[in-house]
Structure 1
Amino acid sequence: MLTEKKKEFIEFMMESDVLRFGDFVTKSGRNTPYFVNTGNFRTGKQIATLGKFYAALIKENCGDNFDCMFGPAYKGIPLATAAAGALYNEYKIDKPYFFNRKEEKDHGEGGSLVGYKPQDGDKVIIIEDVITAGTAVRETMPILKNAANVEVKDMFISVNRCEVGQNPEKTTIMEVMEDFGINVHAIITVQDIYEYLKQDGSYGDILTKMKEYMDTYCVF
């Protein structure tokens, strides 16, 4: 259901040039009529606003029942940072966060993780932008498991694209749940975006392409 809060987030992404329409290719190689690039958030106001949306979603689904937050490099880094700040400012939930380097550091303190050092038994939540084929999750889990014997039950993203994963009858998010036991929570879904464009009434050509893409790649 397209709520006012979801409409607000969609318009925020569009105004920030993060949600774009046209002809794009996803990381999984699919040709898509829409693209979400959180790397286009570039001002203090934008990242503070984004943090509030993530914080509200985390509060709603986890409360303060977790120990730390992980942002996978690179786009997850500012997302986790913004979410951590907003959780404290909005709800007085003060949790540590950490992220990884793409290249392991061999001097100074060394290692591939920056920020909080996870401990055995920690409940970690992952902060990401979108999930398409699940590649990033499969790269992230070994990083976390190699750092400590942590528990990962929840992941928070901007957009659920609702796309099929390796099994054509299941979405990537369903596979992530089956393979890793992780619940993925999204601020909005592709259905919300489609419904928003439909209500707006001025996206005829894009709506047609969105419908074709959803019929081909999405499972609801």
Structure 2
Amino acid sequence: MNVSDHSTTERLNENDILDIFKETGALLQGHFLLTSGKHSARYMQCAQVLQYPRKAAVLGKDLAGKFGGMEIETVIGPAMGGIVVAHEVGRNLGVKAIFTERQNGEMALRRGFKLEPGEKVLVVEDVITTGGSVKEVINIVKEAGAVPVGVGVLVDRSGGKADFDGLLLHSLIQMNIEAYEPDDCPLCKQGIPWEKPGSRGIK
């Protein structure tokens, strides 16, 4: 695979960013089972692009730039997909970056990570469909008395429908990827077997 490098100083438009996802194999074509139970012919596996540090740095800088001037003190993302995104965005904003992870099935702060009352926090993720994981992280931020100030994601595949109680939402690219009920899935009717990618299924 010929994976070209991009300077960390250049700003990319949406087509440039989509090209990065395609050339790194992050945009997958096939037959995928979503967590919702629906099926889809395309899936974004952001780990494929984030494995390249130079590209992760470019994406993190672009995403951080969308939240300039907001006096953010901490960036937080859910494991696993949000860890690298939080690190790169936090690095570019000059603030700490932490992550949540599941404990007994529930999202939680572990490893000594803490949020202080009134602390301004940006929540980030690699890709959202319904935004369920992000909503769990937002609840953790609020429970700590900290203040969620926005949500940043690399890929919004909700078609712009994701809502986080009115919080500012910025993404690098939006994709309206069609999903089908199993009984109406054209891929199933063609006899194409499905797969369920991701660490615990699609977000």
TM-score w.r.t. the length of structure 1 is 0.65
> Going by fraction, where is helix more abundant, 1 or 2?
1
**Match among 25, 37, 41 for residue 45 of structure 2:** 37
Q: Aligned partners of 2:39, 2:175: CA distance in 1, in Å?
A: 15
Say if 1:118 and 1:150, in contact at 8 Å, map to a contact too: yes
* Structure 2 equivalent of residue 74 of structure 1: 80
The correspondence for 1:150, drawn from 135, 146, 149, is: 146
Give the fraction of aligned pairs with identical amino acids, expressed as a percent: 22
1:121 aligns with 2:118: yes
Residue among 50, 57, 62 paired with 2:63: 57
Partner of 1:96: 96
Closer, same or farther: CA 131–69 of 1 in aligned 2, 3 Å: same
CA 41–144 in structure 1, closer or farther in 2 if over 3 Å, else same: same
Residue of structure 1 equivalent to 2:133: 136
Q: Does 1:190 align with 2:175?
A: yes
**Post-superposition offset of 1:189:** 0.9
Instruction: Compute the displacement of 1:19 (Å).
Output: 1.0
Checking the alignment, whether the CA contact within 8 Å between 2:50 and 2:56 is kept in structure 1 is: no
Aligned to 1:197: none
Once residues 57 and 70 of structure 2 are traced to their aligned partners in structure 1, the CA distance between those partners, rounded to angstroms, is: 16
Q: 3-state SS of the aligned residue for 1:129?
A: strand
Q: Deviations over 1:44-63 (max 9, x none)?
A: xx233223223223223333
Distance 2:125 2:33 in 1: 19
Q: Any gaps of 5 or more consecutive residues in structure 2?
A: 1-10, 179-203
Deviation at 1:145, TM superposition (A): 2.6
> Equivalent residue of 2:88, what SS?
helix
| Inter-CA distance 60–95: structure 2 relative to 1 (3 Å threshold) | same
**Greater relative CO (CA pairs within 8 A, separation 6+):** 2
Question: Aligned equivalents of 1:123 and 1:161: distance in 2?
Answer: 26
Does the Cα contact within 8 Å between 2:149 and 2:167 map onto a contact in 1? Answer: yes
Deviation at 1:75, TM superposition (A): 1.2
Relative distance call for 1:30 and 1:47 in structure 2 (3 A) is farther
Summarize deviations over 1:119-168 as a string: whole Å, max 9, x none: 1101100110111122212322232233x21111211111121348xxxx
Question: Superposition RMSD on alpha carbons, in Å?
Answer: 2.7
The 1-side partners of 2:128 and 2:50 are apart by 21
Say if 1:98 and 1:42 are closer, same or farther in 2 by CA, change over 3 A: closer
Partner of 1:214: none
What's the offset of the Cα at 1:33?
1.8
Point out where structure 1 has 5 or more consecutive residues left out of the alignment: 88-92, 105-110, 165-170, 195-220
Q: Measure, in 2, the Cα distance between the counterparts of 1:14 and 1:132.
A: 19
Deviation at 1:115, TM superposition (A): 6.6
Q: Secondary structure at the match of 2:30?
A: strand
**Whole-angstrom CA distance in 2 between matches of 1:13 and 1:24:** 18
* Separation of aligned partners in 2, 1:48 and 1:103: 32
Match of 2:19 among 11, 14, 17: 11
Equivalents in 1 of 2:98, 2:142: separation in Å?
14
Q: Matched residue pairs, number?
A: 165
